[in-house]
Structure 1
Amino acid sequence: MWRFITGVGLGAALPNATTLLAEYSPERDRARLIAVMFVGVSLGAASAGVTAAHLLPIFGWKGMLLLGGELPTICALLVFVALPESARFMFVQKAPAERIGRGLSRVGNLSYGRDTEFTLPELKGEHQASISGLFTGGMGLGSVLLWVAYFMDLLVYYLLTSWLPSLIVQSGHPIEKAAAVVSAMLLVGASVGTLLIGWLMDKIKPCLSG
């Protein structure tokens, strides 16, 4: 049950972080900034593997699970208190202009008065979003391909992080070496690939159609 809840949390964290960062990023540098964020994810995964290899003999596997639950809980509380709400979300929810302005002021310098009105031109004519909207307007194939790509990406990631350390340990190497090898693979491969893709997306049109 806890593995399932953890998977739901991990699966929801990245899309939400990506969406919020894209919303507050300049369009010309958006892909590169998102790529930098994903490099941070890779750094976190790599450092967690090395840290766990050194702490495991001290605290045991139960202690590592407790630590893995406590740290995200603390982070969630910090996010709840300190992270500005999405301005788009507040607009769609018809939040008062004063609340939207306060949220934007936390991100950048913004001057607004009581008569300030916020608009989203791209939402003109849109009344309600739905899952079916992902398959209309020629977006069906793209939506499915994105889902398949993300699924396969996570599948490869979890296979590498779950089985590769075990295979290295079974071959006679200590767990510290196994964690170091997997962490280095994640750090180098993910960082270089992510930054390159982010740079290309800012230089080349991401979609070939539309």
Structure 2
Amino acid sequence: MAVINVNEYISNSKFSRFHLLMFILFFIIITFDGYDMAIYSATLPVLLDALKMDPSQAGLIASSALVGAALGALIFGLLADKIGRKKVIILCTVFFSIGSILAGFSNTIYTFGFFRFIAGLGLGGIMPNIVSVTTEYAPRKNRAIMVAAIFTGMQVGGILVSGISMWILPLLGWRILYFIGGAPLLIIPLLIKYLPESATNLAKNNRNGELKLILQKLRADSALPNDVTFEFNVSGKSSLKSLFNENRGLSTIAIWIVFFMNMFVSFGFSTWLPQLMINNGFGLNSGLFFLLTLNLGALIGSYIAGFIADRIGYKTTLIGLYLIAFLSISLLSLTTNLYAVTGLVALAGIGFFGGQNVGNAYVSLFYPPSMRSTGMGFAFGIGRLGAIFGPTIVGFIVSWGMDLYVNFLALAIPGLIAALAVFIIQDKCSFLYKDMVNIKEVESKSSSENFPTL
């Protein structure tokens, strides 16, 4: 009887049609995730009049989606490790799609804020689970680049909002833009049919028939033996306490710090960049140009960062990215040369957004499969707090009229803190470390009884 270790069978697979289809479905979801997170900023000037909002109310409504996202990451991260990641991904897609559509029908700030909160729950819950499923099924050599590529959909969604808003908003109004945010409902049948359930969940529930079909799709040119038996590296329980067991406590805290600091800067920098550039002597159009530069740098840089991480390692890449972001943002107030500022803004986008995307893959692999969604859920949940505090704290600093260098330094220092936090994460305690140290052993046994030639 042939025995196959599922973890290593998947890790040593090659990129296939199975992976491509999963990538496309996830990229669509994350693109609309980015679309939904950016749509409020694009429609805010119109919403202030349409819903009779004052600036303080507008700020609270902006926070409602972020608070929902933080709670969604925590709640659905835990839930996915218990009922399965496929179910939670589909449920969260329905949540943020319907939330967006109903927000478009709203006529008061209260109903609009409530449905933005509902959309936020789905947005927050879907991200950690997409990371978990992607890293679980991606070939070992392509994990970081796959996660990074999928999450560039966030930048694509933001760019999409900008382009569509300039065309639709003057002609058809703000509501249609929120209706468009519900488009992922159209791919729910595809998710039900083609999205694989977590291999961890299948193994836990002895659904070996479904697991065999998935493994067959990974290597469509070969056939699994009829009498195959599966081994699966499932250890530990899924709970908040489990994230601190087996000497993971310090590393878990460090991971939370990394995600908090990353989202603090990502959201704070994106929100205030145009205004800070205006304060630095540039015009409004130049400020918007720098915002576009930031997103393009993030888009291109994420692919480059993922490619590098797959070759030189996650920790080294992350530390380098955060140091690049720290230095580039620190230098922004020291020059008004258009080309220099453009380059520094692009480097900042590469540093923080590339760091977030590579960090997603790294942290997902840090925890054993049995608690992967829980670990990612709490990392994203804590990170979302940074997304809430970042724009607010920087806003206070800007309102105090302090020197421009202080404003940029407030956005740069979290990069240095994130780099230090990554440094103290202990790989030797992680599932990632166990996976990496066994690569040579696994490859040398690729034709043995544990890995039959198929």
Q: TM-score range by the shorter chain?
A: 0.7 to 0.9
Answer yes or no: is 1:58 the counterpart of 2:171. Answer: yes
Q: How does 1:1-210 map to 2 (within 5 A)?
A: 1-68=114-181, 70-95=182-207, 97-109=208-220, 110-120=222-232, 122-123=233-234, 126=235, 128-162=237-271, 173=284, 181-193=290-302, 195-196=304-305, 198-200=307-309, 202-204=311-313, 206=315, 209-210=427-428
d(CA) in 2 for partners of 1:196, 1:60: 38
- Contact 1:87-1:104 within 8 A present in 2 as well: no
Q: Deviations over 1:129-158 (max 9, x none)?
A: 322110112211222222232233334334
d(CA) in 1 for partners of 2:267, 2:159: 13
* Structure 2, gaps ≥5 residues long: 1-113, 316-424, 429-454
d(CA) in 1 for partners of 2:272, 2:174: 17
d(CA) in 1 for partners of 2:275, 2:314: 41
Q: Deviations over 1:77-135 (max 9, x none)?
A: 4323321222222112221x221112233343252344322211x32xx3633221101
Q: Deviations over 1:8-46 (max 9, x none)?
A: 222222222221111122212322222222223322332
- Amino acid of the residue matched to residue 90 of structure 1? L
Aligned residues, how many? Answer: 202
Give the drift of 1:51. Answer: 2.2
Summarize the Cα distance change of 1:8–1:20 in structure 2 as closer, same or farther, 3 Å threshold.
same
d(CA) in 2 for partners of 1:49, 1:178: 14
Alpha carbon RMSD of aligned pairs, Å?
3.1
- Contact 2:152-2:298 within 8 A present in 1 as well: no
2:174 match: secondary structure: helix
* Structure 1, gaps ≥5 residues long: none
- Amino acid of the residue matched to residue 196 of structure 2? P
d(CA) in 2 for partners of 1:11, 1:192: 23
d(CA) in 1 for partners of 2:202, 2:162: 38
1:115 match: secondary structure: coil
- Contact 2:152-2:302 within 8 A present in 1 as well: no
1:130 match: secondary structure: coil
- Contact 2:274-2:284 within 8 A present in 1 as well: no
d(CA) in 2 for partners of 1:36, 1:47: 17
Summarize the Cα distance change of 1:19–1:72 in structure 2 as closer, same or farther, 3 Å threshold.
same
Identity across the alignment (%): 24
- Contact 1:84-1:103 within 8 A present in 2 as well: yes
Identify the range of structure 1 (193-202 vs 22-31) with the bigger mean alpha-carbon deviation. Answer: 193-202
Summarize the Cα distance change of 1:6–1:144 in structure 2 as closer, same or farther, 3 Å threshold.
farther
- Contact 1:36-1:195 within 8 A present in 2 as well: no
- Contact 2:274-2:288 within 8 A present in 1 as well: yes
Summarize the Cα distance change of 1:205–1:78 in structure 2 as closer, same or farther, 3 Å threshold.
closer
Give the drift of 1:2. Answer: 1.8
Give the drift of 1:53. Answer: 2.7
- Amino acid of the residue matched to residue 189 of structure 1? A
Summarize the Cα distance change of 1:181–1:81 in structure 2 as closer, same or farther, 3 Å threshold.
farther
**TM-score, L = length of structure 1:** 0.77
- Amino acid of the residue matched to residue 136 of structure 1? N
The structure with higher relative contact order (CA 8 Å, sep 6+) is 1
Give the drift of 1:66. Answer: 1.6
- Contact 1:168-1:178 within 8 A present in 2 as well: yes
